[in-house]
Chain A
Amino acid sequence: MQIQAVYPLVFAALLFCVGVYGVLSRRNAVLVLMSVELMLASVTVNLVAFGRLAAERTGEALLTGQSFALFVLAVGAAEVGVGLAIILLLYRNRASVNIDDADLMKY
């Protein structure tokens, strides 16, 4: 099956924008983390799309993009683990997951 490479790329861009919006507008730390995951996912989509495009252009059976995507997913899972642990500790210390409250490094 042949699809135009532009579709997954546009999709990934939209997904990234949703993630950015989420990161910048949500106050809940968990939702911010989820939005970060959305951005990560959009990048993963990009990797798969470009991997496929490269295989078609060169005519070789390349799986570089796909395998990279798998690595990113694994790293993303680990990142979520760390992120959730931070949020948990934040909650324990402040009884809140609102990131506006976590401004200890303010001037």
Chain B
Amino acid sequence: MSDYAWLIPALPALSAALIFATGRQWPRKGAEIGIATIAIALLLSVGVAIEVFSNNVDAAAAAHGEESETALAVPVADAAEQPAEEGGAAEAHGGGAFVKEAGFTLATFGEDASFEAGMRVDGLTAMMFLLVTFVSLMVQVYSTGYMHGDPRYTYFFGLLSVFTASMLLLVIANNLMLVLVGWELVGICSFLLIGFWWEEKENQDAAIKAFITTKLGDVGLIVGVITLFGMFGTFNIGEIFTAVEAGDYSQSLLTFGLVALFIGAIGKSAQFPLHTWLPDAMAGPTPVSALIHAATMVTAGVFLVARLYPLYQTSDVAMTVIAVIGAVTLFVAGLLALVQDDVKKVLAYSTISQLGYMVAALAFSYTAGIFHLFTHGFFKALLFLGAGSLIHAVHSNNMSDMGGLRKAMPITFWTFLIGSLALAAIPPLAGFWSKDEILAGALGGGGATGTLVLVLGSLGGLITAFYMTRVLWLVFAGEYRGHGHPHESPPAMAVPLIVLAVPAALIGFINIPTDALHSVGFAAWTMFSLEYFEGHPAEFNVVLATVTTLLALGGIALGTALYRRLPERDPMLQMGPLTTLLVRKYYLDDLYSDVIARGLVRGTLARWAYWTNDHVLDRIVYLAGAAAVSLGRLTYRYADQRGIDGVIHGLAGGANVLGRDLLRKVQSGNVQLYAGALFVGVFVLAIAFVAG
């Protein structure tokens, strides 16, 4: 099945082409093409996942049973060295992570560097396939209801297909160049979909902000890719792993490259301080927010770090940077979610915060990071789609226009509740298991960064529970404060909510960290190699789990106490300077737009640049220009006009005089003159003949 993994990104790409070409002629305006192809892709993903996961489980069980040094020592590089062998390289080694590589070369350059279109199927790829195709399917079904009647309905579904294809390309790519291609493609789709309702200036601005901010990170990404290419002479991820395994490289250069790559992840995964674009990106249609800005695209940065995890493991510096950025992000973004009135912005800051968890987790445990990525994808997509359902009903994003919707919208309420509890990490819902894994990893990691992540992560859990409780009370309890009569959303929107609620509630059980199930769970499925699986177990810690659960329950209790009866004024807006700080988003936007953009760039920097331009560059250009002009004038006057033209005019004039004034006379038309000339000629020839 994994031989056909390339079909998974190819199908949505085909769908996109079909929708853009013929979508309008189909009875459902192209939506059915997108849904059908992504459904097939989902089935394929399940097939791939079963093959990869079962292989990995067998390998892990074998290694676990033997407990031998040799099995543990099988490095990822061994598996990567034999790509694309029948049945996977892992079985040939009698145990090891599943890796299948295949591809063809698109272009070669340099000595033996090449750009391939190649796939790398392993546990991480299979997991991302499942997440992306499942959420994409749900979102597309949901969109048939949410976007119903939109003038650009077909275009919307086309873009969703393009996005899905690009995301899957990014996931399946076996080389950094292709990763970069997918990365930029999802960025473009994000830009187009945030600005989908471009009639409003605000949405355009949000799209441009998102694009430029992530682009700032992309500079780092490109620098990182180039650095790795310069070090190892290849873009291929497996070959880079092999080279690192061999150990012949400069660690400081590698660290530089990895940090540069992580800057790309900071932009894409909305990490502090480049997170400011994500809340603005909520200007796009809500299904887009669910698919792109919650479940899939924003996890690309986390995915990138996970993909290159063996490299990151070699660098403590990079890991420290990751841990600190992640911890700061999860905390500051969580605080920002407290003061929002727009329900989507609460979820957006929550997403940033959860992405911070994932990033921080990666510093300690590969499994914890991607497990949270996986569970978060489901419950955050559910929450966003639920928010879309609310917005659809009350025609407003603001919680101050909602209230009392529990009775009017029961399906939305119950699914939203499940999503919120999962996000708040209440056992036994999905978020509990993944967040616990993260904190356990941080506890196991120890050190200063471990403590930082542990403390901020635990406090973040309290904040998360609190702001979700606030949302629940403000939206679903009390009296309706909006206009009109809200009603439950149509089945096209309600069914995806119900379907998504199932994994949001239950998906955490795939990684229950007990010894009995240890070898068949998520950690084994997605393991990079036996080393990562065995070397970084996050032991279940009852005390830690109890503490975090109590903190989450405390958050819920606090939220309930404050918001059970709708307060006259939101307590979150009465915290004096803290509220001001949060409402102004730590003044980061002001810093970027006023200080950096307007002040530094447009002010000092612009003045300086203008002066330099005016007095230095322009002067040089002007002098060069003036010199060229006078040189040209001299050339024109003397060389061209007098020299070349003189010769040409002379020749032409000479020919003219010769022809017009002299030779013309010869052509008199007088036969006898011609005959005379003939005789003279013959006479001369005869004399010459005789004399010669």
Interface string of B665-686 (1 = CB under 8 A from A): 0011111100110010000000
Please choose the segment from A4-12, A59-67, A77-85, A99-107 that sits at the chain B interface, where 4 or more of its residues have CB less than 8 A away.
Answer: A99-107
- Specify the main secondary structure of chain A where it touches its partner: loop
Whether B672 lies near A24 (C-beta < 8 A) is yes
B667 and A102 form a contact (CB under 8 A) = no
Tell me which residues from 647 to 692 in chain B have a Cβ below 8 Å from any Cβ of chain A.
664, 667-672, 675-676, 679
Contacts of B664 in A (CB 8 A): 107
Taking a contact as CB atoms under 8 Å apart, the answer to whether B670 and A24 are in contact is no
Report the tally of A-B residue pairs with Cβ distances under 8 A: 30
Q: How large is the interface on B (under 10, 10 to 19, 20 to 34, 35 or more residues)?
A: 10 to 19
Min distance, Cβ A28 to any Cβ of chain B, angstroms:
12
CB distance from A69 to the nearest CB of B (A): 22
Residues of B within 8 A of A25 (CB): 672
Q: Number of contact residues on A: which range applies?
A: 10 to 19
Which residues of the other chain, B, contact A106 by a CB distance below 8 angstroms? 667-670
Please tell me if A97 contacts chain B, counting CB pairs below 8 Å: no
Closest B residue to A107 by CB, please name it.
Answer: B667
Q: A20-B679, A24-B679 are known contacts. Are A107 and B672 too (CB-CB below 8 A)?
A: no
Q: Is A47 an interface residue (CB 8 A)?
A: no
Most chain B CB atoms below 10 A, which of A25, A32, A104, A107: A107
- How far, in Å, is A19 (CB) from chain B's closest CB? 10
Quick one: which of A23, A24, A103 contacts B668, CB cutoff 8 A?
A103
- Decide: A103 and B670 in contact? CB cutoff 8 A: yes
Cα distance A102–B673 in the bound complex, in angstroms: 13
Give the shortest distance, in Å, between B670 (CB) and chain A (any CB).
6
Query: Which residues of chain A come closer than 8 Å to B676, judged between CB atoms?
Result: 24
Task: Report the minimum CB–CB distance from B657 to chain A (whole Å).
Answer: 15
Please name all residues of chain A whose beta carbon is closer than 8 Å to the beta carbon of B672 when the two chains form the complex.
23-25, 32, 99
Which chain A residues in 85-104 approach chain B with CB under 8 Å? 99-100, 102-104
Inter-chain contacts of B669 with A (CB < 8 A): 102-107
What is the CA–CA distance of A102 and B672 in the complex, to the nearest angstrom? 11
Which A residues, 17 to 60, have Cβ-Cβ distances below 8 Å to chain B? 20, 23-25, 32
Contact assessment for A100 and B670 in the assembled complex, using a CB-CB cutoff below 8 Å: yes
Shortest beta-carbon contacts, A-B, top 9: A103-B669, A106-B669, A107-B667, A107-B664, A105-B669, A24-B676, A99-B671, A24-B672, A23-B675
11 contacts between A and B (CB under 8 A): A23-B672, A24-B676, A24-B679, A25-B672, A32-B671, A99-B671, A99-B672, A104-B669, A105-B669, A107-B668, A107-B669
Known: A24-B679, A106-B669. 14 other contacts (CB 8 A): A24-B675, A25-B672, A99-B670, A99-B672, A102-B669, A103-B668, A103-B669, A103-B670, A105-B667, A106-B667, A106-B670, A107-B667, A107-B668, A107-B669
